Amino acid sequence: MIDIAWSQFTPGAALTGGLLIGLAAASFLLLNGRIAGISGILGGLLVPARRDILWRVAFLAGLVGTPSLWLLFSELPPIQIDAGYPALILAGLLVGIGTRYGSGCTSGHGVCGLSRLSPRSLVATLSFMATGLITVFVIRHLMGA
Amino acid sequence: MKYSFTSLLAGLIFGLGLMVSGMANPEKVLGFLDIAGLWDPSLAFVMGGAIIVGLVAFAVARRRTLSFLGFTMKMPANNRIEPRLVIGSMMFGIGWGIAGFCPGPALVALGAGEIKAVVFVASMVAGMMAFEVIERIKRPSLGDTRGYQKN
């Protein structure tokens, strides 16, 4: 039996934000002809190919710069990071190696790949969703953190 | 130049979507992954909203060889479901479940000045570099077009 956290559930904001993410992926695809896969865009910077650098840095600068732009109009929304530093380092390494080894993350496989109806991305998405769910279950309910 | 400007714009809109949806907050992401606790289904609505728009965009893109700005459409050429796809994605999922961060939200949180996000991103980049080193040792001839077709 699943208990829904009604007080935290924000379907309107989630859907609006999702449409914006879709719009970003759609414009990147239809204007630049590329998949908006963030791990691939970042990882591609670590394989130096001279003329390929500027647009990657520009996309990432957009992501990193969003909170600064947001601050011109409003207060930043809450960002709560409960994980401690050793956990963050371990998680970062796993996300870094895993997304490159699996050729994508939530954006490339989850958003773009599923939109493209790619069976490969469906398998990837189900794989990271499954281990994500299991990991949270183990940490919160078995280890009791 | 035009290519980089539209990249910047796409990055900004993507980041805006992550902030509006609440996904830049790891606690909210973990609330979705915690189905045995009090479950927050918001992330499913984020994915749903993004995919509704994405389905239309990819349906249009499928019929084109050039983008609306005249650039080559670079679509993934690899359709194989190999062990590395599953193993890599499973590793990513474990890291995602530990911290509540995937790459996009981590970069947005870094931009918001969160020290913990800086540490996560530094570690993530180190992991990506480790991958490159391993790949380079295994197959020295790989270039940046790996996994993509040129047409």
Whether A127 and B86 lie within 8 Å, measured CB to CB: yes
Give CA–CA dist B19/B35, Å, rounded.
23
Of B38, B128, B131, the CB nearest to A5: B38
For residue B83, the chain A residues in CB contact (below 8 A) are none
Q: Report the residue of chain B nearest A70, measured CA to CA.
A: B16
Interchain contact, B125 vs A46, CB within 8 Å: yes
CA separation (Å) from B58 to A19, A25, A112, B61, B149? 15, 10, 8, 5, 17
Domain count, chain B: 1
Tell whether B150 is covered by a domain: no
Of B35, B53, B125, the CB nearest to A96: B125
Sign of CA dihedral B1, B3, B8, B13: positive
DSSP B131: H
Among B92, B72, B19, residue whose Cα is nearest residue A108? B92
Confidence of residue B149 (pLDDT cuts 50, 70, 90): very low
Q: Which residue has the tokens 């769910």?
A: A133
Closest chain B residue to A118 measured between Cα atoms?
A: B79
Closest chain A CA to residue B80: A120
Is B90 inside a domain boundary?
yes
Phi, psi values for residue B7, rounded to 5°:
-65, -45
Q: Are A110 and B47 in contact (CB under 8 A)?
A: yes
Q: What percent of chain B lies above the pLDDT cut of 70?
A: 92
Contacts of B117 in chain A (CB under 8 A): 79, 81
Residue of chain B nearest A127, judged by CA positions:
B90
Residue by residue, DSSP assigns A65-108 as HHHHHHHTTSPPPP----S-HHHHHHHHHHHHHHHHHTT--III
Nearest to B21 among A13, A79, A93 (CB): A13
Contacts of A76 in chain B (CB under 8 A): 19, 112
- Classify residue B77: in a domain, yes or no: yes
**Does B151 reside within a domain?**
no
pLDDT of B47-73, one tens digit each? 999 999 999 999 999 999 999 999 999
The mean pLDDT value for B117-128 works out to 98
User: Which range of residues forms the domain containing residue B39?
Assistant: 2-138
Tell if the CB–CB gap between B57 and A118 is shorter than 8 Å. no
- pLDDT in the model for residue A48: 62
Residue B37 belongs to some domain of the structure = yes
Instruction: Name the band, by pLDDT with cuts 50, 70 and 90, for residue B151.
Output: very low
Contacts of B61 in chain A (CB under 8 A): 29-30, 33
Tokens at B143, concatenated? 């270039």
Q: What is the ipTM of this complex?
A: 0.96
- Write down the pLDDT at residue A134: 98
B66 within domain boundaries: yes
Asked if the structure places residue B148 within a domain, the reply is no
Q: Which regions in chain A score pLDDT beneath 50?
A: none
